[in-house]
Structure 1
Amino acid sequence: MSDVKQSSIQIVKAIGGKDNIAAATHCVTRLRLALKDEGKVDQEALDQIDVVKGSFSTNGQFQVVIGQGTVNKVYAELVKETGVGEASKDDVKKASEQNLNPLQRAVKTLADIFIPILPAIVAAGLLLGINNLLTSKGIFFSRPVIEVYPAWADFTTMVSLIANTSFGFLPALIGWSAVKRFGGNPLLGIVLGLILVNPALINAWDFGKVEIPTWNLFGLEIQQIGYQGQVLPILVASYLLARFEQFLNKKIPESIQLLLVAPIALLVIGFLSFIVIGPLTFAIGNALTDGLVGIFDHASWLGGLLYGGFYALLVVTGMHHTFLAVDLQLQGSALGGTFLWPMLALSNIAQGSAALAMMFIVKDQKQKGLSLTSGISAYLGITEPAIFGVNIRHRFPFIIAMASSSIAGMYISSQGVLGTVGVGGIPGIFSILREYWLPFAIGMLIVLVLPFVSTLLFAKMKKKDVKYGTRDQSLS
């Protein structure tokens, strides 16, 4: 029997047998399973399987980390072994949603909307970091690079143009993803988003600075304002657009749907967006933003302490995706940046440092390798392998990393650090506004050193070895 087939049989047995599998698929590195009862999973047996590098449950899915190149082979054997038909990711999502409560469903919906557009947002954040390097003084020279080397000026202008496009046309990105998620035509979502940021409208970032022209619609005056960088208006409008499109498809004969559905849907929802949806959600978004900013203005240390400390728990529950909308809303406000994203980056680093420390504590060679690779991954902004594969498994490194991130979050919040949505982990410094690099660097130093040293000292103080696949209660 081949090693892959044997591993597949062991995995099926560990997750409760083939009768416990409702649907199964895989991504680049993980098996993604919708299980009927996750309580039947034998976690210890699963952890001992050679090809398994970790496992975790999120959004109703049980995911088994195997690795690129091997996961597809294991999946093929799993399908043969269980008789479960090959499923798409959407099939598994639908099957897993049966295990979710209303709050989890809402969180999952937001995650389904924002995760697909993350590459564009992260790329934009990284490019803005490059732009900051070239346009800020005091980094390489006393003057900006583009002043020392004028030939770089036009290059920098192009970088800035490319970087700001994703944020400037954010409603189009959200419109595409949201309408698709709600069951409508995603192309109409793009058009709706572009309508809300049409250059003929007054830019939302100029709201309150210039006189706003108005439309007179039969005696009703409507402000000609765009919604650049805004999240709530396009989310609500996209939901209504998808539902209205579905309604029209049911009522209009198929032979003329192409001619009538899109114009009617865009016209009605477009009008509603400017008359009701936009002004109402814009006000709500500003109120929420002002409230959050007010909390951090009056007790920034407390906000940083809580968000910095508990961000890793948000990752565990999957709720961290909902805060991307908050980050984008903050970034599109008069504040000009977000104070939440910098704490995300520090939380990434803290979990990575704790995972790396475990490499010097555990005896099992497989766990040592996982601690190293997952720690590096967390340093680059991807924390799931470190959190689920190492830190939560032993509990105390996860708690120490949270406490360290809390301290660092408290510090950078007290210094008013702002950044843009972009990359996390150590490269996250490029997403920080130039004037806050020093306090953020101090925060990075805290989460690089404190979790690593504290994890080692805690384990040494208890004088116990942490074994792979077990939780030593004396270290909890």
Structure 2
Amino acid sequence: MASKEYKKIASEILEAVGGSDNIISMAHCATRLRLVVRDRDIIDDEKIEATDQVKGFFFTSGQYQIILGTGIVNRVYEAMEEIGVSATSKYELKEEASQQEGSKLKRLIRVFGDVFVPIIPALVATGLFMGMRGLITQPQMLSIFGLTPEDISQNFITFTEVLTDTAFAFLPVLVCWSAFKVFGGSPLLGILLGLMLVHPSLPTAWEVAEGTGDPLVFFGFIEVSGYQGSVLPAFIMGFLGAHIEKRLRRVIPPTFDLIITPFLSLLLMIFLAFFIVGPIFHGIEILMLSGVEFILGLPLGIGGFLYGALNQIIVVTGIHHALNLIEIQLLADTGWNPINPIGSASICAQAGAALAVAIKTKQAKIKAIAYPSTVSALLGITEPAIFGVNLRFMKPFLMGLVGGGVGGFLATILQLKGTGMSITAIPGILLYLNDQILLYLLVCSVGFAVAFLLTWLFGYKDGMLSK
């Protein structure tokens, strides 16, 4: 149950946005409360900005997004539900909501965010376990205790493999569960479908890829293997499965619903998964990964520079959660994440730009926003720095993009790769507890320093027009 403090914040937000009648649907990500509204014009922006814990706001594609910060947004969201705001799934809204939410592409990208954000904590924990194992098993670390890697018992190795491999081995289970939940199906059926996709009777995707196992062949030409670590087929099956279940419930009499609906749903879903969706979308998945790897592999660090420079623009558009799919797949396939250090460099660059503004300005109000925003960005959350400081004056944001590009360039040249995802900047150090840690610190420091210096010299002066 939400505390009085958060109920007060929720009530003030509700009043400022024009009451519950103006809210079509409500959701949240790691830092922002996302409201799909009917009438943008009746929202009192000044009241929103004056509300306690609110660090900024913006409006895009029918969504009024209020920046609250990690942890706080969850509590405010719960308080909003308790005072009567419905968190209706926006994929079941009427025509009015569809028109408000912008283009089909932007709606699709938000779908990716809503499906993947709930499973990120599990992947974050797995990444931390990987980092800890990397630290503990480093020869240099073991030598402190007079040990070598050969001294580590097989039981301990097995224990660490349970911690580090489970989430990715059963990734389709997590994706199907979340997708069923988002699209209005029964999450339990989603879990069962995901488990079928990785059933131990099937040759694993890794065995087939490595040539140590043969796929099952149906009808003489359809090759079937398990979908361990596969993301896109599980996402598509979650979408289709939820809709199949809902359609069946409409036509099957209530008397037989408990027996017939799960039976037919799973039968149709597993047929589609093995013989149609899986083979097609697994191929698409491979092409997508090849595209990202191509960009990152452009010579002379060009790919890293481009991604590092564009990363925070993607955050501004609100579509950055769609990139989770690519990072998850890279980790599942290779055990490494080359995107994370580039993203960390771009985040630290926005922190550097915000700090330059904080030090250079003589306006107390700007300092009061810029200093905490810098700290927030260094902890991996850039929205306060971007929307509260850098984008308001535009040039600091642009200087941050340059810093991110330079840091991304350096990360690519040094072939830096994380062991997990979703934690960046200072917390991201935990993904590099191996011989990469000094390189990671160098990359983040360069991104920060370049943006700071450019903003200090060219990017800000008091009296600039805010955006």
**How far did 1:176 drift?**
0.4
Q: Which residue of 2 aligns with 1:419?
A: 418
Taking the aligned partners of 1:73 and 1:107, their CA distance within structure 2 comes to 24
**How far did 1:70 drift?**
11
2:231 is aligned with 1:231: yes
**How far did 1:169 drift?**
0.9
**How far did 1:109 drift?**
0.8
Taking the aligned partners of 1:72 and 1:289, their CA distance within structure 2 comes to 36
2:395 is aligned with 1:393: no
Distance 1:157 1:458, change over 3 A: farther
Q: Which residue of 2 aligns with 1:168?
A: 169
Taking the aligned partners of 1:412 and 1:294, their CA distance within structure 2 comes to 16
Taking the aligned partners of 1:70 and 1:184, their CA distance within structure 2 comes to 26
**How far did 1:331 drift?**
2.3
Q: Which residue of 2 aligns with 1:82?
A: none
Amino acid aligned to 1:362:
T
Counterparts of 1:94-105 in structure 2, within 5 Å, are 98-105=100-107
Amino acid aligned to 1:186:
P
**How far did 1:105 drift?**
0.7
Comparing 37-46 and 260-269, the one that deviates more: 37-46
Taking the aligned partners of 2:264 and 2:341, their CA distance within structure 1 comes to 43
2:128 is aligned with 1:126: yes
Distance 1:158 1:53, change over 3 A: same
Q: Which residue of 1 aligns with 2:87?
A: 89
**How far did 1:150 drift?**
5.3
Q: Which residue of 2 aligns with 1:324?
A: 324
Amino acid aligned to 1:465:
D
Conserved in 2, the CA contact under 8 Å of 1:23 and 1:91? Answer: no
Q: Which residue of 1 aligns with 2:183?
A: 182
For residues 357-406 of structure 1, what are the alpha-carbon distances to aligned partners after superposition, in whole Å with 9 as ceiling and x for unaligned? 32213334443233222222221212222211222122222111111010
Amino acid aligned to 2:445:
L
For residues 323-358 of structure 1, what are the alpha-carbon distances to aligned partners after superposition, in whole Å with 9 as ceiling and x for unaligned? 11011122233x442322221122222222222332
Amino acid aligned to 2:108:
A
Counterparts of 1:181-260 in structure 2, within 5 Å, are 181-210=182-211, 212-215=213-216, 217=218, 219-220=219-220, 222-260=222-260
**How far did 1:37 drift?**
4.2
Amino acid aligned to 1:88:
S
Q: Which residue of 2 aligns with 1:469?
A: none
Q: Which residue of 2 aligns with 1:137?
A: 139
Conserved in 2, the CA contact under 8 Å of 1:339 and 1:419? Answer: yes
Taking the aligned partners of 1:261 and 1:70, their CA distance within structure 2 comes to 37
Gaps of 5+ in 2: none
Taking the aligned partners of 1:322 and 1:59, their CA distance within structure 2 comes to 16
Conserved in 2, the CA contact under 8 Å of 1:408 and 1:443? Answer: yes
2:52 is aligned with 1:53: no
Taking the aligned partners of 1:416 and 1:199, their CA distance within structure 2 comes to 35
Taking the aligned partners of 2:56 and 2:101, their CA distance within structure 1 comes to 22
Distance 1:147 1:350, change over 3 A: same
Counterparts of 1:106-121 in structure 2, within 5 Å, are 106-121=108-123
Task: Look up the SS of the partner of 1:359 in the other structure.
Answer: helix
Counterparts of 1:375-454 in structure 2, within 5 Å, are 375-422=374-421, 423-432=423-432, 434=434, 436-454=436-454
Task: Look up the SS of the partner of 1:465 in the other structure.
Answer: coil
Taking the aligned partners of 1:441 and 1:126, their CA distance within structure 2 comes to 17
**How far did 1:174 drift?**
0.4
Task: Look up the SS of the partner of 1:280 in the other structure.
Answer: helix
Q: Which residue of 2 aligns with 1:369?
A: 368
Taking the aligned partners of 1:332 and 1:5, their CA distance within structure 2 comes to 41
Conserved in 1, the CA contact under 8 Å of 2:403 and 2:448? Answer: no
Comparing 183-192 and 17-26, the one that deviates more: 17-26
Counterparts of 1:266-305 in structure 2, within 5 Å, are 266-299=266-299, 301-305=301-305
Distance 1:66 1:331, change over 3 A: closer
Conserved in 2, the CA contact under 8 Å of 1:135 and 1:145? Answer: no
For residues 238-273 of structure 1, what are the alpha-carbon distances to aligned partners after superposition, in whole Å with 9 as ceiling and x for unaligned? 222112112211221111111111122112211221
Comparing 106-115 and 383-392, the one that deviates more: 383-392
User: What is the alpha-carbon root mean square deviation over aligned residues?
Assistant: 3.9
Amino acid aligned to 2:356:
A
Give me the TM-score of the superposition, normalised by structure 1: 0.82
For residues 272-316 of structure 1, what are the alpha-carbon distances to aligned partners after superposition, in whole Å with 9 as ceiling and x for unaligned? 211222122122211222233234334362211111111101111
Amino acid aligned to 2:462:
D
Taking the aligned partners of 2:175 and 2:439, their CA distance within structure 1 comes to 33
Gaps of 5+ in 1: 80-84, 467-471
Taking the aligned partners of 1:190 and 1:405, their CA distance within structure 2 comes to 39
Conserved in 2, the CA contact under 8 Å of 1:135 and 1:146? Answer: no
Distance 1:104 1:145, change over 3 A: farther
For residues 153-188 of structure 1, what are the alpha-carbon distances to aligned partners after superposition, in whole Å with 9 as ceiling and x for unaligned? 855643442232111111100000112222211111
> Percent of aligned pairs with the same residue?
34
- Alignment partner for residue 64 of structure 1, among 66, 69, 73? 66
Taking the aligned partners of 1:46 and 1:442, their CA distance within structure 2 comes to 39
Give me the TM-score of the superposition, normalised by structure 2: 0.83
Taking the aligned partners of 2:123 and 2:312, their CA distance within structure 1 comes to 21
Conserved in 1, the CA contact under 8 Å of 2:170 and 2:195? Answer: yes
Distance 1:262 1:73, change over 3 A: closer
Distance 1:211 1:71, change over 3 A: closer
Task: Look up the SS of the partner of 2:360 in the other structure.
Answer: coil
Task: Look up the SS of the partner of 2:184 in the other structure.
Answer: coil
